[in-house]
């Protein structure tokens, strides 16, 4: 079965622009979570979507938003980009049933560079 896919893999933007990243989960998975990974802060949870609704949210400013479509594909958007937004953005999918065995599987990530 195909794994989690993320597009694009690499992105270069300038400060003030906005960006949209896309994630397609593993077939049958209904939960999609987004994480930001930076050398200084490690892996930080952004938000989780399940059945087109945001179910969990991390401690990021409102410039970071997301959505999920009926086919479970998800997008995240960052508006008014800042230099500090440069990071690897990872998407993870899971069945979303909330069981202890509900393990997250990660995509390869989108490397965002803000100049």
DSSP state of 26: P
* DSSP H or E stretch at residue 59: none
Q: CA 17 to CA 80: how far, in whole Å?
A: 5
Least gap, CB of 20 to other proteins (angstroms): 19
Instruction: Return the residues of window 26-85 that contact other proteins according to CB under 8 A.
Output: 31, 33, 35, 42-43, 45, 48, 50, 55-56, 58-59
Place of tokens 């560079």: 113
Residues that bind other proteins (CB under 8 A): 4, 6, 31, 33, 35, 42-43, 45, 48, 50, 55-56, 58-59, 90, 92, 94, 96-109, 111
């Amino acid at each position: 079965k195909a794994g989690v896919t993320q597009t694009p893999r690499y992105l270069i933007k300038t400060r003030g622009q906005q960006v949209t990243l896309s994630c397609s989960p593993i077939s049958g998975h209904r939960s999609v979570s987004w994480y930001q990974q930076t050398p200084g802060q490690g892996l930080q949870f952004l938000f989780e979507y399940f059945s087109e609704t945001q179910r969990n949210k991390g401690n990021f400013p409102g410039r970071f938003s997301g959505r999920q479509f009926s086919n479970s594909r998800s997008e995240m958007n960052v508006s008014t980009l800042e230099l500090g937004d440069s990071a690897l953005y990872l998407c993870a999918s899971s069945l979303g049933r909330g069981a202890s065995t509900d393990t997250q599987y990660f995509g390869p990530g989108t490397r965002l560079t803000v100049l």
